[in-house]
Structure 1
Amino acid sequence: MSTVALITARGLFGRRRALLLLPLPLLLVGLAAICRAYGVSPDMWGTAVIVGLGTSVVLPVVALIVGTGVLGSEIDDGTIVHILTKPLPRRDIILAKYAVAASVTAVTTAVPLYLTGLLAGSAKLGAALAVAAVVGALAYSALFLLFSLVSRRPVLLGLVYILVWEGLLGNFVSGTKILSVGQYVATIADKMAPTTIIESSVGLTTALAMSAIFVVLGTIFAINRLGSFSLAGETS
């Protein structure tokens, strides 16, 4: 499993896709730094930058790029066949891919979110955002890894989830919030460091439990889905 994880990490950072991970986190920290440099109160920019950009855009988009990239590209170019011919359980393949996706997403998003919270004047808020980002990375990665196995256009499917389900419906239909990873992230951060910048719509217990469900069910379904692939890379 460690060999698969190492190959996956090399493949991920060896593609141009890896360059897509940098602009959004840099933009997030840059905007916060500019506001801090000009003495703008965090109450005026915190919600727009931290929530509107950080937890609602940077975190899910980075997770989408990485989560669909660790396996989706291999399915597209047919190299998945080489992995499937190895004497490895499908479980180990998925767990290795998931570990890489979740780890890369967590680091790439938790660090800039921590810095943004720190620039907002609170190390506690920065730590809360970092922890919430890690939990969000775990849940999003499981979901988007599954998308790469159930759709030929996983990025499009992921964007529909982010923009339509979490963005559009999440703001107007209260029932959708219980299935929104973005809401779990907001809740965890808000409960750890209560602030007017972040508003949560679900309970902490619900956020933690649903995050765990996303991770467990997403991984199980991904393992089962990969198990249905034939050596031609098509589902049976």
Structure 2
Amino acid sequence: MSTVAMITARGLFGRRRALLLLPLPLLLIGLAAICRAYGLDYSHWGKSVIEGLGFAVVLPVIALIVGTGVLGSEVDDGTLVHILTKPLPRREIILPKFAVAVTATAVTTALPLYVVGLLAGSASLGAALAAAAVIGSFAYTALFLLLSLLSRRPVLLGLVYILIWEGLLGRWVSGTRVLSIEQYVITLADKLEPTTILDAKLSVLTAAVMTAVFVVLSLVGAINRLGSFSLAGETS
């Protein structure tokens, strides 16, 4: 499993794809720094920067880039067939790749959100935002890893989920929020550090349980899907 993880990390960070992880976190920190430099109270900019950019854009988009990248490239170039010839249980392929993806996503999103919390004047807020980002990284990455095995266009499907389901329906149609990872992250962050700038719309129990459901079902689905590749000789 460690070998699969090392190969995955080398492939992920050795590609230009890794450079795509930098602009959004830097933009997030930059906007918060500008607001702080102009002496604006964080109650005036916190919701837009933290919730509107950090949780709605930076976290899911980075998870999408990483989650679809750790296995999607191998599906596209055909090397997945070579991997499947190895005598490894499918979970020993999926789980290391998932671990690498979660680590990369969590570090890339939690650190800038912590800095934003500090710029807002609260280390405890920064810690809450970072912790929520780490939890959200598990759910988003598991989902997007599964999408990379279900479709030739996982990025497109991921963007539909982020922009349409979470960005549009999740904000205005209450029934869809229970399937919105963004809402879980906001709820958990607000629970860890209650604040008026985060608009939690779910109960903490719902957010915690549904996060676990997303992770478990997505990973089980990915393992089963990878198994079907070897059985049917599929490459997509």
State the TM-score, normalizing by the size of structure 1: 0.98
* 2:193 equivalent in structure 1: 193
* 2:22 equivalent in structure 1: 22
- Distance between the aligned counterparts of 1:6 and 1:234, measured in 2? 23
- Distance between the aligned counterparts of 1:90 and 1:220, measured in 2? 10
Q: Amino acid of the residue matched to residue 78 of structure 1?
A: G
Kept after mapping to 2: 8 A contact 1:36/1:120? yes
For 1:13-71, what per-residue CA distance to the aligned partner results, in whole angstroms no more than 9, with x for missing partners?
00000000000000000110111111111011111111100011000000000000000
Kept after mapping to 2: 8 A contact 1:78/1:233? no
- Distance between the aligned counterparts of 1:174 and 1:131, measured in 2? 25
For 1:152-210, what per-residue CA distance to the aligned partner results, in whole angstroms no more than 9, with x for missing partners?
10000000000000000011110100000000000010011111111100011111111
* 2:175 equivalent in structure 1: 175
* 1:229 equivalent in structure 2: 229
* 2:110 equivalent in structure 1: 110
Aligned-residue offset at 1:234: 2.9
Kept after mapping to 2: 8 A contact 1:28/1:49? yes
Kept after mapping to 2: 8 A contact 1:102/1:138? yes
Instruction: Please give the residue correspondences for 1:60-71 in structure 2 after superposition, counting only pairs within 5 Å.
Output: 60-71=60-71
State the TM-score, normalizing by the size of structure 2: 0.98
* 1:150 equivalent in structure 2: 150
- Distance between the aligned counterparts of 1:8 and 1:95, measured in 2? 11
SS of the residue aligned with 2:199?
coil
* 2:46 equivalent in structure 1: 46
Instruction: Please give the residue correspondences for 1:215-226 in structure 2 after superposition, counting only pairs within 5 Å.
Output: 215-226=215-226
For 1:57-108, what per-residue CA distance to the aligned partner results, in whole angstroms no more than 9, with x for missing partners?
0000000000000000110011111211111110110001111111110010
- Distance between the aligned counterparts of 2:233 and 2:213, measured in 1? 31
Kept after mapping to 2: 8 A contact 1:64/1:144? yes
- Distance between the aligned counterparts of 1:18 and 1:232, measured in 2? 30
Provide the aligned length of Structure 1 versus Structure 2: 235
For the aligned residue pairs, the C-alpha RMSD in angstroms reads 1.0
Kept after mapping to 2: 8 A contact 1:80/1:233? no
* 1:86 equivalent in structure 2: 86
Question: Which residues of structure 2 form unaligned runs of 5+?
Answer: none
SS of the residue aligned with 1:224?
helix
Q: Amino acid of the residue matched to residue 41 of structure 2?
A: S
Q: Which stretch has the larger CA shift, 164-173 or 58-67?
A: 164-173
SS of the residue aligned with 2:229?
coil
Kept after mapping to 1: 8 A contact 2:33/2:119? yes
Runs of 4+ in 1 over 4 A off after TM superposition: none
